[in-house]
Amino acid sequence: MADPYAAQMVWRLKAVMTAITVTMVVHFLHPLLPNRDASLIFRVVGFASGVLALVLLLIDSSRIAQALRERRNEANRAHAERKQINHLFRMTEMLQSASGYPDANAVLGATIGSLLEGFGAALYVFNNSRDRLELSGAWQWPGEDTLRPTLAPAQCWALKRGKWHLNADQRGALRCDHHLTGPSLLELPMAAHGEIQGLLLIATARADTVAELKRVQPLAAAIADAMSLAVSNIALREKLRTQALRDPLTGLYNRRYMEDALSRYANLAERSGTHLSVVMIDLDHFKRLNDEFGHVVGDAVLREAAATLMGGLRTSDVACRYGGEELLVILPECGLSEAVAKAEILRERIEALSAMHDAKISASFGVASIPESTRSVADLLGMADAALYQAKEGGRNRVVAAPSRDTPILPQAAA
């Protein structure tokens, strides 16, 4: 398609060249004319042609300068856009190598600093249960104290609509419940595989905040799109890793992880000379509970018993589903007497579940420890299992500690 301005420039250039040619012809021919009047007319025509050529040149010079400025600006914008696209390609390539959220956050932080200079960003990602979003990272955020550690999806209009939302600090603006006051924010949901993976927030301390956020919205949306696929892949890897290590019903670690953890803690206890205890737990009359109330109630009791265990343990302790209704807890740096006291607390909490289901719920506990019960990790589980069998034989709903190497087995507590 022809450029209309270029065609106009060609026409003006032809007119200027014609005027200059007429001026030159008059300049050379008027001395040769015998008639004085004809010579004067030629001079007037030549002068007019010269003036016309000068005027056209002046007009076109300003328009040419303006056109050059516009073309230069367009070239600069095109160069900036190519630079942004190249940076986004590099960002996407780097994100493919990200092994977790720390790597992805590092790439996103570098991209924000390069492409959105003067703007801050914050990234929220869904937790495993997808009932809330957790703050994964923040970069150049104006006032980090305004960022919440968690967000509920129902509090955010961008997540509800699945589209970007300007949380503007203006009268009559629709604001999200998680940011009813404070500076304006640009909120961009990150979707991949037909599912929202997280939320990217953009803010700035510049004047005319709303206009600035609207200006960078297309670029911010491109960054969010590039980031969303990486977040989806990382979340999928985390989910697969969790499924490989945890029991799907209770959320506790599975037996494979328990064996590895017990081996690590045993080696650590041997090197450092510290204690290591295990507590083996069996829910009493669990088959009868399933027969009387159904497997739905049985599964619920098992989940609640697992949650009760997790609520009563330290962050360094490891709770596992050993098999069926049997659970096992590893207590590093915990002696036999401390493990027995902890097991008694857990027994009382599990028994308290009876009121929730209007059924008798209890558990038997067997406790063994290194070095009090044995010095061999191979014998530790066997001694805890023997203590558990003793607790069940003694009437259930009680805690029994494995004997030390010079004392017989004795029940420590009974309901």
Name the band, by pLDDT with cuts 50, 70 and 90, for residue 108.
Answer: confident
The CA–CA distances, whole Å, from 209 to 142, 176, 224, 392 equal 12, 17, 20, 69
pLDDT at 343: 94
CA 157 to chain centre: 18
How many residues does this entry show for the chain? 415
How far apart are the C-alpha atoms of 249 and 398, rounded to whole Å? 25
The neighbouring-strand residues paired with 253 are 246, 320
Q: What pLDDT digit, counting tens, does each position of 223-238 carry?
A: 888 888 888 888 777 7
Q: Which residue is listed with tokens 């308290």?
A: 352
What are the backbone dihedrals phi and psi of residue 212, each rounded to the nearest 5 degrees, phi first? -65, -40
- If one counts every other C-beta atom within 10 angstroms of the C-beta of residue 339, the result is 27
Lowest mean pLDDT among 101-110, 160-169, 252-261, 309-318: 101-110
Q: What is the model's pTM? A: 0.54
* 19 pLDDT higher than 70: no
Do the beta carbons of residue 111 and residue 91 sit within 8 Å? yes
Quick one: tokens of 275? 């204690």
Q: What pLDDT digit, counting tens, does each position of 120-165 carry?
A: 888 998 887 788 889 988 888 886 567 888 999 898 999 998 899 9
pLDDT at 165: 92
Q: What pLDDT digit, counting tens, does each position of 261-310 carry?
A: 898 998 888 888 899 999 999 999 998 888 888 888 889 999 999 999 98
pLDDT at 357: 80
Name the band, by pLDDT with cuts 50, 70 and 90, for residue 415.
Answer: very low
Lowest mean pLDDT among 109-118, 261-270, 365-374: 109-118
| Average pLDDT score over residue span 163-183 | 86
How far apart are the C-alpha atoms of 342 and 213, rounded to whole Å? 55
Burial of 277 (0-12, 13-18, 19+ CB in 10 A): buried
Sequence-distant (6+) residues with CB within 8 A of 133 are 124, 125, 126, 127, 150, 151, 152, 153, 198, 199
